[in-house]
Chains A and B, each alone.
Chain A
């Protein structure tokens, strides 16, 4: 497989995953805000924080109100992390490798980009927002399904899954980091209803709520949510699961020793930490380390193969 092609597949997957994650994030925030009383000021700024684009945002907009944040995160091409930008990049990367991936996938990526662009306005009204974001999420999921079902599971597919899972691991840590910062750490006692709601929203932004309930069967508690989202091996959006996937993919690739070593270290770090005992500051530091780990893995893949 050509290095350039492996690189494009990897980024195609990362950008698609980014578009989907962003759509989930906005969707859940919209719903969350509807449940909160007016005096609780959660607002839209956390969304900007999650994606670490505060500077970028405030250079373009004055206030982090709903309209501006949605615009910035969904349709603004000046934000390289916006859904439209991510889909644009995904499409450009896919275009470059259309001889490698199944044709239906290219058609679907193309169609998704087209729909996202054509209907971009509808995301500004709350009534149509859900449909719009759902079409993005479904669109990306369709592509993932097509790839799983029709693309040869060769090295190219490994690069695809590595891209997807590294992006996912990164996004999961960001969501946990920012969302937990606005909450008080609970030490065993039941959360106040609104805090509870916000932990639910964290789970929901990762489509983890239902799975969490099945798994934990308990009241929502901070330490359990953290454990589930960071350490659970079987839940596909959990950090640990995502890096295990990257580990699996790498095993069948050539010259993998160095990168595998990095991943193993990170896996141990996640599994061996007592998340429940971390206060917010400690958690923040810990998450920083995880993110650094993800970046190191990316750099190593980049250096070895691209």
Chain B
């Protein structure tokens, strides 16, 4: 059975490829006809080719389970790309730039004069309880006054097709390597599509990242020594750490490769002795970064690295403490921040968010818990969430108790109907929900990836797209319809 668009129904939601009438969106027209012309054997062949490419390239992620420890899995990949018209994308891009700019101003403000608190825009008690506010960072001036150099924001579309920001990841967002790898696989599989459509390239990211990092060097003029600091091969994103280091020509280091001397300079151990390091793209969470400053039992970190950073002898990206804006409660204030710092209206809307710390909003959440998605403020990877409509009665009650016990730690959002895109299930196309994670680089200039990583929930009806919970990914094509 070949791909028949006639049996693919779009009902009461937004589909990325087809309109409700069943006709393809203009940017997806070429792809739709191309897919329709494929025979069963072709589809099978493409699927196999994609699988083997991914296997051989060693594109894996690590899943943690209690029984087995960590295991490598190939990252499930769907060969049907997700298509976005360039005109629409430019709006999203502008929105993301605006958002990240405001977030950086916010973080810098919090670690200095805290105007936004004094002006009663952001409540002081939220700051007091924030798990990711680092008193150690107060008064520090990172280069260019930027704290979140790399940000990954998750976007979703609701029924009517509007893009919403679901959350901002300002600590150590991952996924960009999959975006780059997916494109590589697609170019191997469908070279003719890249001939026929005007698909904008994504490959520039590693050099943009390099430039962003290099600009932070405390020794301007010299060629900076840049290192990617990884927790090691058992981290779920190790593949990405190695990949980015390789693509940038930077050293991939582990904590034990680095030492900080008494003059607060960071060195790496090499076969020639010690070499100074200028910029560290750290992929280790704040609390594990420096056993001297944070968790003293951390084996992953580098003792003294906070000293070196505060003394301005080394640049860290993202800066320690940047995660304060990563909080899902803080998220609810982003539109206010944009207004406050930039005097602009947010281009990209937030998903309406109820803050459980507010009594009225909390009661609303408890009453409507069966319609809500409840999220803890500081978890990532989809852990510790409640999806109201799909949860059992016990699970809902459990969350009501959790919320009442620690209201500051929870927010709730109405259940959105996420957009879908045709996804190959067996040899048929079926709609599956998806989201989009673009990456934003902030340095001397702000750069947004073209598209981003599209994550797709492979289980029917599911909206959980995380790789650790049955998600897969698609290549994201931003198609330019104007230049031919």
User: CB within 8 Å of B: which residues of A?
Assistant: 1-6, 92, 95-100, 103, 106-107, 110-111, 114, 155, 159, 253-254, 305
CA A267 – CA B56 in complex, angstroms?
Answer: 41
Partner of A253 from B57, B242, B253, B271 at Cβ < 8 Å: B271
Asked if A99 meets B243 with Cβ closer than 8 Å, knowing A2-B251, A4-B254, A107-B57, the reply is yes
Number of contact residues on B: which range applies? 20 to 34
Complex CA distance for A305 and B256, rounded to whole angstroms: 15
Q: Determine whether the beta carbon of B269 is less than 8 Å from that of A3.
A: yes
Count chain A CB atoms within 10 A of each CB in B56, B243, B250, B269 and give the residue with the most.
B56
Which A residues touch B243, using CB under 8 A? 98-99
Interface: B268 (CB within 8 A)? yes
Question: Known contacts A95-B233, A111-B56: does B270 contact A2 (CB below 8 Å)?
Answer: yes
Contact of A1 among B57, B245, B254, B271 (CB under 8 A): B271
Is the CB–CB distance between B270 and A3 below 8 Å?
A: yes
Do most interface residues of chain B lie in helix, strand or loop, or is the interface mixed? mixed
CB pair B56–A107 under 8 Å, yes or no, is yes
A305 to B56, CA, bound (A): 32
- Interface membership of B246, Cβ < 8 A: yes
Within 8 A of A (CB), among B240-293: 242-243, 245-246, 250-254, 256-257, 268-273
Chain A residues lying within 8 Å of B58, measured Cβ to Cβ, are: 95, 98, 106-107, 110
Tell whether, in the assembled complex, residue A99 and residue B269 are in contact, meaning their CB atoms are under 8 Å apart: no
Assess the A6–B233 pair: CB atoms within 8 A: no
A98-B272 in contact given A4-B256, A92-B233, A110-B58 (Cβ < 8 Å): no
Interface residues of B in 12-63 (CB under 8 A from A): 55-58
B contacts, CB < 8 Å to A: 55-58, 228, 233, 238, 242-243, 245-246, 250-254, 256-257, 268-273
B-chain residues with CB within 8 Å of residue A4 when the two chains form the complex: 254, 256-257, 269
B56 touches A110 (CB 8 A): yes
Given A1-B270, A99-B246, A253-B271, 4 additional A-B pairs, CB 8 A: A3-B269, A98-B246, A107-B57, A114-B55
Q: In the assembled complex, which residues on chain B have CB atoms less than 8 Å from the CB atom of A114?
A: 55
Query: Across the two chains, which residue of chain B brings its CB closest to A253?
Result: B271
B-side contacts of A159, CB under 8 Å: 271
A96 and B56 contact, CB distance less than 8 A: no
Q: What would be 5 A-B contacts, judged by CB atoms less than 8 Å apart?
A: A4-B254, A5-B252, A95-B242, A100-B246, A110-B55
Sorted nearest first, the 3 A-B pairs with minimum C-beta distance are A99-B246, A99-B245, A99-B252
A305 touches B271 (CB 8 A): yes
**Smallest CB–CB gap between A50 and chain B, Å?**
32
CB distance from A306 to the nearest CB of B (A): 8
Cα of A254 to Cα of B372 in the assembled complex, Å = 63
Contacts of B251 in A (CB 8 A): 2, 5, 99
Contacting residues, chain A, for B233 (C-beta < 8 A): 92, 95-96
Q: Which residues of A contact B253 (CB under 8 A)?
A: 2
Please measure, in the bound complex, the distance between the C-alpha atom of A100 and the C-alpha atom of B243, giving whole angstroms: 10
User: In the bound complex, how far is the Cα of B59 from the Cα of A103, in angstroms?
Assistant: 12
Distance, CA A235 to CA B31, complexed state (A): 57
B232 shortest CB reach to chain A, Å: 8
In the bound complex, residues from chain B placing their C-beta under 8 Å from that of A2 are 251, 253, 257, 268-271
Contacts of B250 in A (CB 8 A): 99
Residues from chain A with a CB closer than 8 A to the CB of B252 are: 5, 97, 99-100
- Tell me which residues across on chain B come within 8 A of A305, comparing CB atoms: 271
Decide: A6 near B271, CB < 8 A? Known: A107-B56, A111-B56: yes
CA distance A273 to B437 in the complex (A): 68
Give CA–CA (A228, B233) in the complex, Å. Answer: 43
Taking the nearest CB of chain B, how far is it from the CB of A115, in angstroms? Answer: 11
The chain A residue with its CB closest to the CB of B275 is A2
Roughly how many angstroms separate A253 CA and B254 CA in the complex, as a whole number?
23
CB distance from A304 to the nearest CB of B (A): 8
Residues of A within 8 A of B268 (CB): 2
CA–CA, A159 to B272, complex, Å?
A: 13
Docked CA distance A305–B272 (Å): 8
Q: Is the CB of B271 within 8 A of A155?
A: yes
Q: How far is the CA of A114 from the CA of B51 in the complex (A)?
A: 14
Nearest CB on A from B23, distance (A):
41
State whether B56 touches A3 (Cβ < 8 A). Answer: no
Question: In the complex, what residues of B have CB within 8 A of residue A3's CB?
Answer: 257, 269-271
Q: Which residue of chain B lies nearest to A94 when distances are taken between CB atoms in the complex?
A: B58
**With A and B bound together, what is the CA distance between A100 and B242 in angstroms?**
9
Write the chain A residue with the least CB distance to B252.
A99
Minimum CB–CB distance for B68 against chain A, Å: 16
CB contacts (< 8 Å) of A92 on chain B: these are: 233
Query: B400 to chain A: closest CB distance in Å?
Result: 45
B residues within 8 A CB of A5? 251-252
Question: Within the complex, what minimum Cβ distance (angstroms) separates A150 from chain B?
Answer: 13
Instruction: Give A114 to B54 CA distance when docked, in angstroms.
Output: 13
A172 → chain B closest CB, angstroms? 27
Inter-chain contacts of B246 with A (CB < 8 A): 98-100, 103
**Which residues of A have CB within 8 Å of B245?**
99
Give min CB distance, B130 to chain A, whole Å: 35
Set of chain A residues within 8 Å of B254, measured between Cβ atoms: 4
Residues of B near A254 (CB, < 8 A) are 271-273
A110 to B269, CA, bound (A): 28
Closest chain A residue to B227 by CB distance?
A2
Most buried by A among B228, B246, B256: B246
A111 to B268 Cα, complex, angstroms: 32
Chain A residues with Cβ under 8 A from B256's Cβ?
4
* Docked pose: A155 CA to B253 CA in angstroms: 17
Q: Shortest beta-carbon distance, A181 to chain B, in Å?
A: 39
What is the bound-complex CA distance between A126 and B191, given in angstroms?
44
B73 to chain A, nearest CB (A): 14
B242 touches which one: A6, A99, A110, A155 (CB < 8 A)? Answer: A99
